[in-house]
Amino acid sequence: MTHTPFLTRLRALLDDRGRDVIYPCIQDLVDNGLTLARFSPGDRIPPRQDVTQYIVAWCKHAGLTEEECRDWLIEYCAVMLSSISKTSISGIRHSTKSNVKYIYQADIPFVCECDNNPFKAQCSGNCPAYADMQAKLTDRKNKGPNIGHDVERLTAVMEARSPSAKETYRDQFETALQVIRSEIERGTKRKTIIELLNERGLKTRTGRNWTYSILGAELSSINGCHDGQCDRER
C-alpha cells in the first residue's frame, strides 16, 4: 500500500517507536486527512482545529519534540486539512504553530474515543493503545458528568482557537515589505506602490488594504523617515 510522504516522514522521525505508537486512527488521519464520505448528513464535521490538536496531543504522547512535531505538522495541515478550512494557507501554518506551542506547554494527555472517535478514523481492537483507552472510557462513564480535571482541560484545549489577524497576515505582510523596499530602491512613488500592493492582494500587518498613512508609518519604520520626509516622496 502506498502511503503519503507525511506518514513516511513521521515513521522516520519515530524510528523503531513508530511500530508501537502510530495507532490506526493516526495513520488514517495522516494518510487521508478527514474522510468526509464517512459522515452522514446531519453529522457534526470536526473542524480543522480539532484534528490538528488531536494529532499534536498524540505527537507529544509519542515522544516527538515540540520542534519535530511543529516542523512536520505545519505542512501536513497546510496540505491535508486545507480542504476543510476557510483559513488561508499562511493562516493555517501560523495557527498550527500556536496549537503546537499551546499543547506542548500544557499538561494535556492524549485521549481517543476508540471506535467512536469524532473523526470517524479507523480503529482496531489490535491497536496497542486500545485496551488502555477503553479503560479510560469506562472510568469516565463511572465518574458520570464530572470526568475530572485532566479531561476538562482537554475539552477546553480542543475548542477552536482562531489565529490573530497579525498571525494570519504575517506572510503577506513580509512579502509586501519586500515589494516596498524594492520599489523604493527604484524610486517608485508612494501612490504607485499602494496601487501595486492592493492589486496583488498583499495586506498590511493587520489584514487591511494599504493607504497613504499606513505606508507612511511602515516607511518610517523601515527607512527611518522623519519630519515629513516620506510625505515628500509622494
Report the share of the chain in percent with pLDDT over 70: 81
Residue 86 confidence (pLDDT): 85
Q: What is the mean pLDDT of the chain?
A: 82
Same domain, 74 and 177: no
Using CA atoms of 45, 138, 128, 150 in order, give the dihedral in degrees to the nearest 10. Answer: 70
Q: In the chain, how many domains are there?
A: 2
Question: What is the mean predicted confidence (pLDDT) over 126-137?
Answer: 91
Residue 82 confidence (pLDDT): 92
**Stronger pLDDT, 157 or 96, i.e. the higher one:** 96
Residue 231 confidence (pLDDT): 42
Same domain, 79 and 60: yes
Residue 180 confidence (pLDDT): 87
Same domain, 152 and 192: no
Q: Which of 134, 162, 190 is the last residue of a domain?
A: 162
**Stronger pLDDT, 171 or 2, i.e. the higher one:** 171
Question: What is the mean predicted confidence (pLDDT) over 148-154?
Answer: 43
Tens digit of each residue's pLDDT (9 = 90 or more) over 55-67: 999 999 999 999 9
Same domain, 147 and 174: no
Q: Is the pLDDT of residue 149 over 60?
A: no
Highest mean pLDDT among 90-94, 184-188, 221-225: 90-94
Ranking 27-36, 136-145, 183-192, 219-228 by mean pLDDT, the lowest is: 219-228
Q: Which of 162, 187, 207 is the last residue of a domain?
A: 162
**Stronger pLDDT, 137 or 80, i.e. the higher one:** 80
Q: Is the pLDDT of residue 201 over 60?
A: yes
Q: Which domain holds residue 216?
A: 169-233
Same domain, 59 and 116: yes
Same domain, 44 and 158: yes
Q: Which of 141, 162, 183 is the last residue of a domain?
A: 162
Tens digit of each residue's pLDDT (9 = 90 or more) over 158-176: 444 445 555 556 777 887 8
